[in-house]
Structure 1
Amino acid sequence: MSGIVESAGTEPARQLPEGQGGVGLPEGNAAQYPTLRRALLDAALEVFTERGYTDAGLTEIAARSGIPVGSLFQHYGGKRGLYLALWEEFREEQERRTAATLAAERDRGVADPVALFMAGARAYLEGAWDNRRLGRLVAEDDSPAGFDALRRQWDRAWVRRNARLLEVDERQRAGRVRVSVLTTVIGGAARELGDCGDETEAREIVDEVCGILIHLTTPPSSSRTP
């Protein structure tokens, strides 16, 4: 999971493929949904983080949330639905953060594609630190069946959006590979941030990675000495 994301308004609304999200709420429960949802997702994150996805138990998640197991199934369809909802929450928060940063930079008159990309990269990495528990969870190999394919699908979409942000012609292999490398670097750094001991170390990593990205965003022809 990586990449800098343009505003969600630049593409059709994105959602989990049919059958991969949670189960809809019955009529009449909509007003209770935000509180119930938060309780279930917070409890799921705790149990997944402590025990891993495979060993996490729905009974324990329900007990910690204070919500019956039957309601958990009704709203999320089980453990897989909870996990995917957490991933969606992390991804959407990262998108909101980077989109807001890009909008603010453009309002200041910044138009250079590389400058915008770097601002978005820093925002994404800072978000990975702020949301490190969620980020660490979805970066682990212990995940629901089929999740890797879903994650790769979104990663490919993020690479395409990054290419547009950098104004790279995706028809040219060199440019496409460069954007893919940049996106991979950001994703790898985001995973490292999840294991940082404190904010000082996290900021050092963000600064270091941004320096690497600046170097990588320089076209080869621009760095050659005449």
Structure 2
Amino acid sequence: MSGIVESAGTEALRQPADGQYGMDRPEAATGEHRTVRSALLDAALEVFGERGYADAGLAEIAARAGIPVGSLFQHYGGKRGLYLALWEEFREEQERRTAATLTAERGRGVDDPIALFVAGARAYLEGAWDNRRLGRLIAEDDGPAGFDALRRQWDRAWVRRNARLLEVDEKRRAGRVRVRVLTTVIGGAARELGDCGDETEALEIVDEVCGILIHLTAPTG
């Protein structure tokens, strides 16, 4: 999952240290290429959601997109590339949403770290509901080989960014643990939102979780 961030960057995703999990796709696309890639991602999300990653077939994805299999390989290099592209799409949208919220809150004069953190958490959770099909897919333990390691790497970066937002001293173990607990609460709630029956239930969960975060971040002593 992504975190509550202002700018996380994407180089760690596109160029991981071991070189195994790159996106294998062009840096930019315009016009017809964007349309083709969008159709492929939409079809991949449908098929992955119905059959799981392991049982999803490239021929079915290409057929639903109305695009030759060869074009799928040209744009994404195969099933792994499609899955990672969906993950990046989800992550980047969540980042844009939370970053915009933090900017707006600061523009209103909010500078309290806890208030900013909770506002960012709310934006992230609302995004998880709006993009629940993608969120459900990514939460499953059925991704390409090596994806769990990539996700753990990103989760660690999420904790560090939340620590900075909360102005927690990362050198203190107690501070690190506290931020990790808060981050885990948000991630767990985001997964639950994927199973909500309707928006009313989802927003009740968002309100509940934000209340928990306020309680957990309240000064002690």
Q: Would you say the 8 A contact 1:128–1:193 is kept in 2? A: yes
The change in CA–CA distance for 1:21 and 1:79 in structure 2 (over 3 A counts) is same
TM superposition score normalised by structure 2: 0.94
Deviations along 1:109-143, whole A, 9 cap, x unmatched? 10000000010000000000000000000000111
* Structure 2 counterparts to residues 116-131 of structure 1, below 5 A: 116-131=116-131
Q: Distance in 1 between matches of 2:25 and 2:45?
A: 20
Deviations along 1:14-52, whole A, 9 cap, x unmatched? 53234423333499x743221111000000000000000
Q: Would you say the 8 A contact 2:58–2:79 is kept in 1? A: yes
Structure 1 residue ranges without an equivalent (≥5): 222-226
Determine whether 1:133 maps to 2:133. Answer: yes
Q: Distance in 1 between matches of 2:203 and 2:25?
A: 40
Q: Would you say the 8 A contact 1:3–1:184 is kept in 2? A: no
In the other structure, the counterpart of 1:224 is none
Determine whether 1:204 maps to 2:204. Answer: yes
Partner-residue secondary structure (3-state), 1:44? helix
Q: CA deviation at 1:75?
A: 1.1
* Structure 2 counterparts to residues 35-184 of structure 1, below 5 A: 35-184=35-184
Partner-residue secondary structure (3-state), 1:220? coil
RMSD, aligned α-carbons: 1.8
Q: CA deviation at 1:5?
A: 1.5
Q: Would you say the 8 A contact 1:22–1:75 is kept in 2? A: no
Q: CA deviation at 1:12?
A: 7.6
Letter in 1 for 2:83: Y
TM superposition score normalised by structure 1: 0.92
In the other structure, the counterpart of 2:13 is 15
Structure 2 residue ranges without an equivalent (≥5): none
Q: Distance in 2 between matches of 1:24 and 1:54?
A: 21
Letter in 2 for 1:53: Y
Q: Would you say the 8 A contact 1:128–1:135 is kept in 2? A: yes
In the other structure, the counterpart of 1:24 is 25
Letter in 1 for 2:183: T
Q: Distance in 2 between matches of 1:12 and 1:81?
A: 15
Q: CA deviation at 1:189?
A: 0.1
Deviation >4 Å, runs of 4+: 11-14
Partner-residue secondary structure (3-state), 2:152? helix
Q: Distance in 2 between matches of 1:139 and 1:217?
A: 26
Partner-residue secondary structure (3-state), 1:15? helix
Q: Would you say the 8 A contact 1:21–1:85 is kept in 2? A: no
Partner-residue secondary structure (3-state), 1:170? coil
Q: Would you say the 8 A contact 1:168–1:175 is kept in 2? A: yes
Q: Would you say the 8 A contact 2:3–2:95 is kept in 1? A: no
Q: Distance in 2 between matches of 1:109 and 1:167?
A: 17
Q: Would you say the 8 A contact 2:135–2:194 is kept in 1? A: yes
